[in-house]
Amino acid sequence: IVRTLLETGSVYRVANGKAYEMLSNLNGLIDLYRLSADKTLLDAVLRAWEDMVRHQLYRTGTLSAAEHFQPEGQLLTLQASNVGEMCVTVTWLQLNWRLLRLTGEARFGQEIERTVYNHLLAAQDVSHGKISYYTSWAGCKEFTDALLCCVSSGPRGISLIPQLTCGLQQNALFLNLYVAGRMRCEPDGVPVEVVCETAFPAEGRVAVTVSAERATHFTLRLRVPEWTGHFHVRFGGHRLAGTPGQLLDVSRTWPRSSTLDIDMDMPTRVLPGSPTYPDYVLLQRGPQVLALEQALNRTVPYLHRVALTGGTVRLEPAALAEGRGGRQVYEVDGIVGVPAEGHQLRPERRAVQLVPFADLVNGRVWIARAGRIRGDRPAVTAFSRASLSVVSLGLEPTAKGPRRTDIAEFVTDEDPHSFCTVNPQDSGLANYLGSPRGRRGDPVWFAVMLRSPASISRIVFRHGAVSASGGWFDTTEAMPRIELARSPIPTSANGAVPDNSKVRWETAGVLEHYPRSRASTPPPLADGQLFELRLPQPLEVYGIRVIGRAGGDYASCAELSAYG
């Protein structure tokens, strides 16, 4: 680990890139450095940290898709990619906590704040205490109370918050998170109580009251968030200004009782969806990433047909919806696609409501860029969870291997230029559990699953891409066919994800216009070529899949979509 990090500076290039295992090792390397003073250990950890922040970190403060680090230029966000494994989120928190304690640098406190106010709390069901094993940026969160490592990691991470909030340094009290609460300590042996009163992050005002048994001198060290435009501290007729992303020391002889008033602005930022979703953006207010909540936008037909209006984004507090209590809800002007003639939509200016990603139940982070809203009616399967007949465990080293193309997310991402592949010969989860390995030419499938039933009348399969080594269906024995799941999709024994092995599939029809092809000869197919199956009458379904024999080494799929 140390050698590869020092040579390449890339966590993706270390072993098989398994994120939780890597982060656990990095935490151990920090502890070993503290015991041994071997600076190469700390250098390796810092190179890993810098690479993760630059190439692997989500704006919501997590890492990993399918439990692994991703190649540079790719950050997947849909449910099919199993984003933000909870064990990864918490171990990333622990890494930043160790580095903050070791170095005292503000940048590590910043990442703690990002994770706590976004991905950590987003993975908890506040109504019932359940936890998401994975927490994606779109769709309904998949909470469970099963006895699993990631489900136990959620409460473990939340219980760390008091220790992440503040701490003692040499003759200094470090305030890292602006959380309402109190802390007792004894700088230079003098009992001191610090009480923090605030509604942060809903607002940027913080009152810090310092009560000492007698007048005493020490430093109150404040972390100034990197996202704020101004950070002002007032006390006893004095005024200090902090620099975003730095530390601000308030060093003085504190009387028996005094109060500091902190005021920071909470700007709204529009952040790009690149590299993987260049046509989309997200909104961030203060430390919190915001999201469109389905329950608050009942007049919006399709959340994935919402765009910004262009110009300055003005975010306003919204009237609280019934049952939301004191939670944060914001409103912004948007462009919404509403039904028009045929399969088209017309853009209409409407206000849309957003909540912090931490409060999201069912919705999406992504909003289309101004002027980039699509004008077609989306499939009922758009951005839904997709699955493949071979589920890779990613056990192979990533340093020299080819970039993975079995990305299930690409099956429902509405981008005909991205595509997913399935190779029946690849080692997958089923083989790990005891099933024999597949052979060249075995049947493979791409599936899309829904949490609630949808009425559909047609299914569209977009072929992916053909190369000399594979990418098509071999029709020698049978044409590729479309199958439907008419009953709810069962979940795995641990309740964390859908269980494909328990789904009952019914044949809906074959793709008659698919070109006749052989196992070893690529057919004349254009990338993203479309094939459609129309049903005799609308049917209510919970899932669809396309199945056929892999041509060459593998089959490919750009999109699998169902329409009402």
DSSP labels, 428-470: -HHHHTTPPPP-TT-EEEEEEEEEEEEEEEEEEEEE---BTTE
Low-confidence ranges of the chain (pLDDT < 50): none
- Please check whether residue 145 is in contact with residue 164, taking contact to mean a CB–CB distance below 8 angstroms: no
The string of pLDDT tens digits covering residues 292-346 is: 999 999 999 999 999 999 889 999 999 765 555 568 999 999 999 999 988 899 9
Cα distances (angstroms) measured from residue 458 to each of 193, 337, 560: 66, 22, 11
pLDDT at 327: 83
Residues 6+ apart with CB under 8 A from 293: 353, 354, 355, 359, 360, 361, 362, 363
Coil vs helix vs strand at 285: strand
Whether the link from the prior residue into 71 is cis, omega within 30° of 0, is no
Whether the link from the prior residue into 378 is cis, omega within 30° of 0, is no
The C-alpha atoms of residue 259 and residue 211 are separated, in whole angstroms, by 9
- Please check whether residue 388 is in contact with residue 408, taking contact to mean a CB–CB distance below 8 angstroms: yes
The C-alpha atoms of residue 224 and residue 210 are separated, in whole angstroms, by 19
The C-alpha atoms of residue 406 and residue 404 are separated, in whole angstroms, by 6
The C-alpha atoms of residue 338 and residue 350 are separated, in whole angstroms, by 10
The structural domains of the chain, with segments of one domain joined by +, span 2-159, 166-264, 268-368, 385-563
Fold of 166-264: Immunoglobulin-like (2.60.40)
End-to-end CA distance of the chain: 51
Coil vs helix vs strand at 361: coil
Residue among 185, 152, 162, 559 nearest 378 (CA): 559
- Quick one: CA torsion of 97, 288, 106, 215, rounded to 10 degrees? -90
- Please check whether residue 89 is in contact with residue 119, taking contact to mean a CB–CB distance below 8 angstroms: yes
pLDDT at 437: 85
- Please check whether residue 349 is in contact with residue 334, taking contact to mean a CB–CB distance below 8 angstroms: yes
Residues 6+ apart with CB under 8 A from 167: 101, 173, 174, 176
Residue 119 backbone dihedrals phi, psi, to 5 degrees: -70, -35
CATH classification number, 2-159, choose in 3.40.50.150, 1.50.10.10, 3.10.28.10, 3.20.190.10: 1.50.10.10
- Please check whether residue 528 is in contact with residue 410, taking contact to mean a CB–CB distance below 8 angstroms: no
The C-alpha atoms of residue 64 and residue 58 are separated, in whole angstroms, by 9
DSSP character at residue 52:
I
The two tokens of residue 395 are 């056990």
Paired strand residues for 332: 352
Paired strand residues for 116: none
pLDDT at 493: 65
- In the chain, DSSP finds a helix count (H) and a strand count (E) of 9, 30
Domain 385-563 = CATH 2.60.40.10: no
Q: How far is CA 86 from the centre of its chain?
A: 11
